Every structure is written in structure tokens, then in C-alpha cells.
Amino acid sequence: TLIAWGFAFLYSICQILIPQSFQNPNAAGLQSWLDLLFLSFSLQSATGLSDLIPISPEARVIAMLQMFCGVMYLALIVSRLIALQYIRHLPHHHHDDSAE
């Protein structure tokens, strides 16, 4: 969720620096924080539920970065969980270095 909030903040900065960065059929002009946050969570979860569309190249780059981060974060978490399960099932070898 922290990642989604961070990207929503980036979208907010983007729309301030580059007006008309986002297109929303329900609201013209600057988008609300809630709409930007909803877009962020929608992209992060790959659900695509938001009506908000990034249309400027800069907004699209931020959106692509968020999609990539979302996929990589999920891959990292899954691989970490698999590694922890794998390590847990390894046989335990007790080495006694003092016997040498």
C-alpha cells in the first residue's frame, strides 16, 4: 500500500506540472486525490477498474513504472516465501568443528 500511495503522490505532482496529464470522462481539469489514489491501486493490482486514463507521456511512464513495480514486488514476495519454505524443509546438519 505504501508503494501505491507513493505513486499516487507522483501522479499528483505530474498533473500539477503537466496539466491535462489524465483524462477522466466524469471530471475535467485536475483530478482529485481519491481518483489518483484509486488509479494507483488499480494499476498496482492490475484490475484496471479506474476511469482515469494517463494520457501525457510523462503520466504514462509513471503508470508503466508502477505496473512494473507491482509485478516485481509480487514476484519478490512469492519467491521469498518459496525460499523460506525450501530452507525450512532442508535437512539440518550439525557440524562439530571442535572434534578436529
Domain boundaries, the chain: 2-89
Architecture per CATH, domain 2-89, reads as Orthogonal Bundle (1.10)
Chain segment 24-83, per-residue pLDDT in tens = 998 888 999 999 999 999 999 888 888 899 999 999 999 999 999 999 988 999 999 999
- CA distance linking residue 50 with residue 77, whole number of Å: 25
Place of cell 481518483: 35
Q: Is the pTM of this model over 0.85?
A: no
Chain segment 76-85, per-residue pLDDT in tens = 999 999 998 8
Which candidate, 100, 2, 12, places its Cα nearest to that of 62? 12
